[in-house]
Amino acid sequence: MNELNQVVFANIDEQEPWTIDSYIASGGYEAWKNILNNKDDSHKPENIIEIIQESGLRGRGGAGFPTGLKWSFMPTADTQKYIVCNSDESEPGTCHDRDILKLNPHALIEGIAIAGYAIGATIGYNYVRGEFMDECYPPIENALKEAYQHGLLGKDINNSGIDFDLYNFIGAGAYICGEETGLLESLEGKQGKPRFKPPFPANFGLYGQPTTVNNTQTLASVPMIIKNGSKWFKTFGTEKSPGTIIFSVSGHINNPGNYELPLGVPFNKLIEYSGGILNGKKLKAVIPGGSSTKVLPAHIIKDCTMDYESLQGAGSALGTAAVVVIAEGTCMVNLLKRISRFYFAESCGQCTPCREGTGWLYRILDRITNGNGKESDLELLVDVANRIEGNTICAFGDASAWPVQSFIEHYHEEFEYMVKHKGKTKAA
Amino acid sequence: MTDNEVKITIDGVVYSVDKNKMLIEITDELGIYIPRFCYHEKLSIAANCRMCLVEVENSNNTLPACATPVSDGMVVNTQSTSSKTAQESTMEFLLINHPLDCPICDQGGECELQDLAYSYGKNNSRFDLLKQTKPNDDLGPLVSTDMTRCIMCTRCVRFGSEVAGIQELGTIGRGESSTISTFVEQTVDHELSGNIIDLCPVGALNNKPYRYTDRTWELDQIKSISPHDCVGTNIYMHVKNNKIKRIVPLQNDSINESWIADRDRFGFDGIYSSDRLDGPLIRTNGDLVKASHEDSIKLINEHISSLVNSNSQDKIAALVSPSISLNEQFLLANYLSLQGVKNIDHRIHQIDFTGDTLDPLFPHLNINLSDIQNMKTILVIGSDLRKETPLIAHWVKRAADKGSSIHFIDNSIREYHFPISDYIMTDNDSITENIGMLVKAAFSISDSSIPNHIEDNLSRLPEPTRTHKQIALSLCNNDETLLINGLLARSHPDFALIRSYINILSELSSSRIGELSHGANAVGAYITGCIPHRSQLAEPSEQGLNALQIASSNHDLLILYGLESKDCLYETNLVESIKSSKTVIAFSYFEDEVFNKYADIIIPINTTYESKGSFINLTGTLQEFNNEMMHPHDYLSNEKFLSDLINISGTSLPSFEDFLKQLIPFIQESINNPNYINELPIEITETEPLNALNEFNMYNLDPILRRSKPLQSTKESLGDN
């Protein structure tokens, strides 16, 4: 059985899957239309939330928070609520939302509409990453127009009494706007600086109103789950990590790209799907869930299955399922420096540990690679990272600390070697 | 424990605390110190400095006490290793890019970063890389910038957006390059902008005129009251060698919170102006010649007694500044009234005196200033409120922020940084008419018939428009409403009629009235009898000449106390009067061109920054100050001079203490039962068409402000708006 592309990308091999005709021909918008027609009583908002809760769908944006549970946090009070789709996909290594926006935009629109209906939001915003301006914004904007033309969105849609308006919004290119409250600030026209929580968006979100923010892939998974039921969704994946997830495989791999596979797929199988390690080299390490997650050496990752529990058990996380494959011969010091450079550049600068700490981390790594490292630097790096971790307003601080902690934990001798040998790498 | 309370454990002790508060508010109340930089009780929570991180059991991470609501069963350990490590980590991060230039930093000695570094910092640094520097913006003449010292707590930014209402400073850039800056090279011009100096926990924003003058630990702190408006702003004067070095706020939550206006902070500079008088001057053979105090007192007494002896007291007139202390007013008013002089007034900004008989006992507001924020509707009539009384504008903004409807009737559109419900902009002449139309609208809403004595007058006015009706409705339908009668209205040629309308409107809508007054102590001037139509404590008296009449006629003896002709709304009249009066005695702080030419006796006096006394602010609060140590050595205190004058005149010195005993109940009674007379002025005379005040320069209100160099360098003064 071909395990690939069962849920989000189920219709991806159709001709022009991004057109509304193609999407409808392959069963798209059925779930939404059922809700609009209210064929039976099984489509009340609370039922929708229940189905999603039963399905075990977890947020695909990185944190893996149960989606149905998040929806259930929305207050029932009759006030303006918002559903916001986080298409600000910026985690290094991650590129599945890009393909959804490009290839299957209607699944996303349908998912946002259903989610909006379930949580009582009549307005939705799709916050699209600024860098997607040319590549992804036109297709999603076009799809949105099509959906309106087909009478699937708007006020009192098809005389159903349901209102739902959706807007695409293009960001200005900041990693931090992928943090849900930073995103909300940016959407309100302010600097993308994360808010401190509590209050969470469900209580104080966009313009201070109850808001749910979900990731693109999460929302694009919703229509199929509503259409086929939670049991069907649970036939994929493992008991604790049901469903499929799109792995964005990159790095030293023969066929880098997006692979939608059931959760729990063995790591080796994922590598097989991706055509094996580049140039037949030996695997050295893997960053399994985007650059923020902790690196796992080959001997640990090779026995892992690709799901939330297994990777957590191995000391890392599934994150965004952006699998960065690192082959033998890669200098881990230089790689970490590159990652730290990213966090240094992307810190919003709002809170002290992250603003001051990320630059410190990067500069120490920079001097190590330039041959000016000191013996005490390795201890200092870990200590600075530890002092950032857990002390910041948002998870960015942790994301900048974890790579440093894990790289030095697993590859201490490479760092030591470079300090001793004035910038010479041990890996080559 | 009430429903509003929860039980929390802090450092092993269980407390019942208000469940609606943040942890840091609770620990502050309990006297348990948690370090902080970005938190400020008067500003919103930012939680960005991370200095107040504390260990809360069952939480994965340490939590910022400023942004963590207390909850039942919460266990907080403020002294645990985890709390200490988090706080020390933050301190280390804050210091790595801080220049540590404390020896040349004005903030040194009163720096929150420096203070906390002693407890939470290390003795040596692990940071051996290059520190950052940041560019400095020119924020104007009042606030200096050393942005490399900035720790990005954003207190100044939040002050702008929340208190001032205009975000003159913001954060730009991100990450390490984040910096506080203005919007494209603007200066900081808000009338409360100096408060960011106090808010800044480090030396990034400092007092520019004070820069590099003294170290803070060498300064003494003296409580005082700002003399530049009727608010009675509480201040601390920081003093060295009997000289004021700078002024900072003294928190008083019912008057000025933690804020002072820029003129309260920088105005004092004027008293050190080089044209300060250094001794009495007597005109001899056409020239002003230095004289002793004794000789001057004798000479003044001679002038006065000769007129008194010839029963020509009506040839004596006195104009008094509305900003002198109660004690001076008391002595001066008593002295003149004992001599039988009736012509005394302080209302040098008023043109229309036809409503004198309808005057309240003194102009006032009968609630605390902080209560303004609880008014549901506020109508501001004829006022450049932000410039007239910056702190009252602040309280009105607070009301607006809480959702109250704020309305204006004014002769110009002025910029307010809060939502305004209605703004009737009209020419100066039509202000009166528009208030009359409001009265009409209020009559029809309240369904009461218009009394005969005003029917005629109202019937001549146009019918109210929708806006008038809206404002009247908002006033009549809400419980807590306030009519603010501004300084422009007070200077209006139809002031008496405007005030009668306001009184009637207040009765119809059960609104309170807040009558702003010029200077720091107009209330005192009314009560001590520095007015021609009443004597002390509002006792009836024989009518004397009012300020306009005094300034528009010549006298055998004209006394000017604490004012210059520039302070007077009818400056040209007054100059003419000074020229043509036989003898002119000027009690003045400074040399003045007009006095130099025409005054016969010039007596140097102390400002209230340098003397002992009290002011009564517009809410009737008597506030004392004792700044005597500041007065220049060769000056006699003003009180002593006036007392000597009374003694030499042969009359007995009235007791100020006895007066004070009567004063407090008198104020209480008047405040509790304000008597707003709903009559119209008896005769509505056509006053001379004098130039009514349209422009209000907030740094040209008195001789001191006019000489304050920092204030005179602002955009407000240079007219470069």
Using H for helix, E for strand and C for coil, what is the string for B109-166? CCCHHHHHHHHHCCCCCCCCCCCCCCCCCCCCCCEEECHHHCCCCCHHHHHHHHHHCC
Q: Which domain holds residue B414?
A: 369-516
Q: Tell me which of B672, B695, B712 is where a domain ends.
A: B672
Structural domain includes residue B628: yes
Q: What is the least distance, in Å, from the CA of B532 to any CA of chain A?
A: 58
Q: How many CB pairs under 8 A join A and B?
A: 89
Same domain, B526 and B649: yes
Contact check, Cβ <8 Å, A390/B62 = yes
In angstroms, the CA B646 to CA B338 distance is 9
In angstroms, the CA A181 to CA B546 distance is 64
The DSSP call for residue A301 is H
Q: What is the pLDDT of residues A183-199, one digit of tens each?
A: 999 999 999 999 999 99
Task: Decide if A203 touches B, using CB distance below 8 A.
Answer: no
Same domain, B297 and B389: no
* Assigned token pair, A118: 């379930």
In angstroms, the CA B23 to CA A137 distance is 45
* Cα–Cα distances in angstroms (integers) from residue A8 to residues A22, A104, A264, B474, in the given order: 15, 8, 17, 57
Task: Decide if A173 touches B, using CB distance below 8 A.
Answer: no
Specify the pLDDT at position B694.
Answer: 58
Q: How many domains does chain B have?
A: 3
Same domain, B382 and B489: yes
Task: Decide if A355 touches B, using CB distance below 8 A.
Answer: yes
> Is the separation of the CB atoms in A421 and A375 below 8 Å?
no
Contact check, Cβ <8 Å, B93/A356 = yes
How many Cβ atoms from other residues are within 10 Å of residue A44's Cβ? 14
Write the CATH number for B465: 3.40.228.10
How many H helices and E strands in chain B?
Answer: 24, 28
Q: What is the least distance, in Å, from the CA of A174 to any CA of chain B?
A: 10
Structural domain includes residue B135: no
Query: In chain A, which residue's Cα lies nearest the Cα of B22?
Result: A198
Contact check, Cβ <8 Å, A357/B64 = no
Task: Report chain B residues whose CB lies below 8 A from the CB of A349.
Answer: 152, 171, 173-178
Task: Decide if B53 touches A, using CB distance below 8 A.
Answer: yes
Interhelix angle A216-228/A96-103, nearest 10 degrees: 60
Structural domain includes residue B574: yes
Same domain, B302 and B326: yes
Amino acid (one-letter) located at A3: E
* Assigned token pair, A48: 């929708």
> Is the separation of the CB atoms in B222 and B162 below 8 Å?
no
Q: What is the least distance, in Å, from the CA of B150 to any CA of chain A?
A: 12
Contact check, Cβ <8 Å, A356/B176 = yes
User: Any long-range contacts for B666-669 (C-beta under 8 Å, 24+ apart)?
Assistant: B666/B361, B666/B527, B666/B537, B666/B538, B667/B527, B667/B616, B667/B620, B667/B622, B668/B620
SS3 B588: strand
Q: What is the pLDDT of residues A165-178, one digit of tens each?
A: 999 999 998 999 99
All residue ranges of chain B with pLDDT < 70 are: 1, 633-634, 682-695, 720-721
> Is the separation of the CB atoms in B71 and B6 below 8 Å?
yes
Structural domain includes residue B531: yes
Burial track A288-311 (b if 16+ CB lie within 10 A, e otherwise): bbbbbbbbbbbebbeebbbbbbbb
Structural domain includes residue B461: yes
> Is the separation of the CB atoms in B174 and B124 below 8 Å?
no
* Ranges for all domains in chain A classified under CATH 3.10.20.600: 244-327
3.40.50.11540, 3.30.450.20, 3.50.30.30, 1.10.1740.110: which CATH number matches A20-234? Answer: 3.40.50.11540
Question: For A281-351, where are the alpha helices, taking DSSP H only?
Answer: 298-301, 308-313, 332-346
Contact check, Cβ <8 Å, B174/A196 = no
Contact check, Cβ <8 Å, B60/A390 = yes
Which residues, 6+ apart, have CB-to-CB distance to A100 below 8 Å?
A8, A107, A108, A216, A217, A220, A246
Specify the pLDDT at position B693.
Answer: 56
Task: Report CA dihedral (B390, B393, B398, B401) to the nearest 10 degrees.
Answer: -120
Task: Decide if B48 touches A, using CB distance below 8 A.
Answer: yes
Which residues, 6+ apart, have CB-to-CB distance to B529 below 8 Å?
B333, B334, B337, B344, B535, B536, B537, B539, B541
Task: Report chain B residues whose CB lies below 8 A from the CB of A191.
Answer: 171, 174
> Is the separation of the CB atoms in A273 and A261 below 8 Å?
yes
Contact check, Cβ <8 Å, A353/B97 = no
In angstroms, the CA B44 to CA B157 distance is 11
> Is the separation of the CB atoms in B697 and B170 below 8 Å?
no
Radius of gyration of chain B (CA): 28
Strand bridging mode A244-251 / A283-287: unpaired
Q: What is the least distance, in Å, from the CA of A336 to any CA of chain B?
A: 19
| Neighbouring C-alpha atoms within 13 Å toward the C-beta of B690 | 20
> Is the separation of the CB atoms in B244 and B237 below 8 Å?
yes
Same domain, B627 and B595: yes
* Complex ipTM more than 0.90, yes or no: yes
Interhelix angle A352-369/A377-388, nearest 10 degrees: 160
Mean pLDDT of all residues in chain A? 96
A98: nearest Cα among A13, A5, A220, A224: A220
Helix/strand/coil (H, E, C) string of B12-45? Answer: CEEEEEECCCEHHHHHHHHCCCCCCCCCCCCCCC
1.10.3720.10, 1.20.1440.230, 3.10.20.740, 1.20.1300.10: which CATH number matches A332-420? Answer: 1.20.1440.230
Q: What is the least distance, in Å, from the CA of A321 to any CA of chain B?
A: 24
Contact check, Cβ <8 Å, B48/A352 = yes
SS3 B193: coil
Same domain, B496 and B416: yes
Same domain, B312 and B380: no
Q: What is the least distance, in Å, from the CA of B154 to any CA of chain A?
A: 9
In angstroms, the CA B234 to CA B254 distance is 10
Best residue in B20, B50, B68 to probe A by mutation, most A CBs within 10 Å?
B50
Q: Tell me which of B39, B68, B96 is where a domain ends.
A: B96
Task: Report chain B residues whose CB lies below 8 A from the CB of A353.
Answer: 50, 89-90, 93
Question: For B339-421, where are the alpha helices, taking DSSP H only?
Answer: 385-388, 390-401
In angstroms, the CA A424 to CA A417 distance is 8
Mean pLDDT of all residues in chain B? 93
Same domain, B406 and B503: yes
In angstroms, the CA B359 to CA B226 distance is 26
In angstroms, the CA B34 to CA B24 distance is 7
Q: Tell me which of B47, B74, B96 is where a domain ends.
A: B96
Q: What is the least distance, in Å, from the CA of B377 to any CA of chain A?
A: 26
The DSSP call for residue A106 is H
Structural domain includes residue B356: no
Task: Decide if A360 touches B, using CB distance below 8 A.
Answer: yes
Out of A353, A364, A393, closest to residue B89 by CB: A353
B137: nearest Cα among B165, B105, B169, B99: B169
- As a whole-number percent, the residues of chain B with pLDDT over 70 amount to 97
Helix (H) or strand (E) holding B422: strand B422-425
Positive or negative, the CA dihedral B94, B99, B101, B105 is negative
Task: Decide if B178 touches A, using CB distance below 8 A.
Answer: yes
Same domain, B473 and B578: no
Task: Report chain B residues whose CB lies below 8 A from the CB of A198.
Answer: 69
Q: What is the least distance, in Å, from the CA of B47 to any CA of chain A?
A: 7
In angstroms, the CA B283 to CA B302 distance is 15
Contact check, Cβ <8 Å, B176/A357 = no
Contact check, Cβ <8 Å, B90/A353 = yes
Q: Which class would CATH give A244-327? A: alpha beta
Specify the pLDDT at position B83.
Answer: 97
* Cα–Cα distances in angstroms (integers) from residue B367 to residues B12, B374, B427, B668, in the given order: 44, 11, 31, 11
Positive or negative, the CA dihedral B50, B55, B56, B61 is positive
Query: In chain A, which residue's Cα lies nearest the Cα of B98?
Result: A356
Contact check, Cβ <8 Å, B152/A355 = yes
Q: What is the least distance, in Å, from the CA of B114 to any CA of chain A?
A: 17
Task: Report chain A residues whose CB lies below 8 A from the CB of B175.
Answer: 344-349, 355, 358-359
Contact check, Cβ <8 Å, B176/A348 = no
pLDDT at A40 over 80: no
Out of B86, B96, B152, closest to residue A391 by CB: B86
SS3 A69: helix
* Ranges for all domains in chain A classified under CATH 3.40.50.11540: 20-234
Task: Report chain B residues whose CB lies below 8 A from the CB of A347.
Answer: 174-176
* Assigned token pair, B208: 């520019």
Structural domain includes residue B349: no
Specify the pLDDT at position A138.
Answer: 97
In angstroms, the CA B65 to CA B38 distance is 12
* Ranges for all domains in chain A classified under CATH 1.20.1440.230: 332-420
In angstroms, the CA A245 to CA A218 distance is 9
Task: Decide if B308 touches A, using CB distance below 8 A.
Answer: no
Specify the pLDDT at position A39.
Answer: 62
Which residues, 6+ apart, have CB-to-CB distance to A135 below 8 Å?
A98, A102
In angstroms, the CA B568 to CA B573 distance is 9
Structural domain includes residue B205: no
* Assigned token pair, B528: 């001590």
* Assigned token pair, A146: 């099509």
Task: Report chain A residues whose CB lies below 8 A from the CB of B48.
Answer: 350-352, 393
